[in-house]
Structure 1
């Protein structure tokens, strides 16, 4: 051995002496711990890393929901609902009930979306993973990429992540089913896309879905039997438009909530010159 070389033990001792106090303590602990203690320390470090990753993932998912949620519903809660928006308390009790699906139906502008996001806000407050989309926007996000973008890895990856999220999240809000525009090939593709999403969710017991759908007004109909017939036709319009495969997925453990009363939107017709 070269006389000028410092023995390894002296080098290690010198490094320990010059290291910060915290590092010195760590080196001493590692030097004297048994294999069992080393394994326990490694498992503890892994568990802590997993906890931090889970917290980061939960924060990211919450921000995704908050970014997708319309600002008008940022503070939507059960206590602010009018009786017409939660008939019989069926919306308030749905999340805790364990039912898999909820179908909110009624005339446009009567509070369906408000109730949907009230349920969504409650779910997020409980720590659940919630995704919220209008059906039109979701179908656009999952539609085939244009030719010039098919080799864009970032766009392809984003589309893949969206598809996975809506199939796997604990609560999915789909707003305005039936409003999306499409005919021929586009309509068939939309049906296939929605059916794939709902089929994946139907097979997972942890996945629940809230859907809003426009229906005709029934308040002026004279007989309850007639009102129930119109409501049933509104629900059955899903099967008529999207087919039995999609409709049967929604019917699994579903709660239907008909929302009708005062319209919260401005009237569609008016005279601005009077």
Structure 2
């Protein structure tokens, strides 16, 4: 009899299957909380275990400054007409938060994501800053398969800082793969970006400031942006940065 990663017994055919799996696959399964699943386990217990593992992964991913981000702490500017706080209960598949640096987009995004994880029936939420997602999708990372699976299969994908990465054809293709898959399968996405959008790239920008560059369409092309906004609730953030310097 062999044992699983947690030291619990694995019997019969399951033991043979586990023994034959490559180490890389076992590591990926461990990341998903799957290695303690056994034939004799109750399905409800399995779901509870996997949810707990996913919550742990979420907590580890949240930057300290956003750990306590909550919907009830959003300002009227961060939650115009209740669009952000009401998104989880809405039928919109995407929430696109657009605005200048420091206007509260990331805080609002984490408030939504924290609420999703804290629900009675918690969502599986994965968070990536877009430059980090791109790095993890590179074959040299050793995590490209699990990263793609997590990004395409989770209940809610939170992509922060869209537009912060250097754009290349390969990187555009990776983003298109993830966004196209989630759009085609009506899976939910939460995206923040400093880059403005409409068909010309400057929605919500005053006439005197046009044209705005860079913008989403110029940077990523209509092929990706069209999927980003499909079924999306788009919230425009304006105003001065909320960040402050420390007193001397």
Same fold judged by TM-score > 0.5? yes
Distance 1:226 1:61 in 2: 39
Task: Name the counterpart of 2:136.
Answer: 141
| CA-CA distance at 1:194 after TM superposition | 0.4
Equivalences, count: 202
Residue in 1 aligned with 2:223?
A: 245
The whole-number CA distance in structure 2 between the counterparts of 1:226 and 1:261 is: 12
Residues 3-22 of structure 1 mapped to structure 2, 5 A cutoff = none
Unaligned runs of 5+ in 1: 1-44, 146-154, 217-223
Stretches of 4+ aligned residues off by more than 3 angstroms = 45-48, 228-234
**TM-score, length of structure 2 as denominator length:** 0.73
What do residues 139-171 of structure 1 show as CA deviations (whole Å, max 9, x unaligned)?
Answer: 0111121xxxxxxxxx63x33111101001111
2:173 maps to 192
Aligned counterpart for 1:176 among listed residues 129, 138, 161: 161
Residue by residue over 1:109-148, the C-alpha shift from the partner in whole angstroms, topping out at 9 and shown as x without a partner, is 0100000000001111120010011001110111121xxx
Q: Which has the higher contact order (CA 8 A, sep 6+)?
A: 1
Q: Given the alignment of the two structures, is residue 160 of structure 1 paired with residue 145 of structure 2, yes or no? A: yes
Residue 193 (structure 2) aligns with: 213
Q: Which has the larger radius of gyration?
A: 1
Q: Give RMSD over aligned pairs.
A: 2.8
Determine if contact 1:108/1:215 at 8 Å carries over to the other structure. no
Where is the helix percentage greater, Structure 1 or Structure 2? Answer: 1
Per the alignment, in what secondary structure is the counterpart of residue 65 of structure 1? helix
Name the structure 2 match of 1:37.
Answer: none
Give the distance between the partners of 1:203 and 1:263, measured in 2 at CA: 35
Q: Secondary structure of the residue that 2:107 maps to in structure 1? A: helix
Using the TM superposition, give the Cα deviation of residue 181 of structure 1 relative to its aligned residue in structure 2, in angstroms: 2.2
Matches within 5 A, 1:52-67: 52-67=45-60
Q: Do the aligned partners of 1:85 and 1:260 also contact (CA within 8 Å) in 2?
A: no
Partner of 1:31: none
Equivalent runs, 1:225-264 vs 2, <5 Å? 227=206, 237-264=215-242
Q: 1:76 is paired with a residue of what secondary structure?
A: coil
Give the corresponding residue for 1:40.
none
Tell me the residue number matched to 2:182: 201
Map of 1:98 onto structure 2? 91
Contact 1:131/1:171 (8 A) holds in 2 = yes
1:48 offset after TM fit, Å?
4.9
* Cα pair 1:86 1:259 within 8 Å, conserved: no
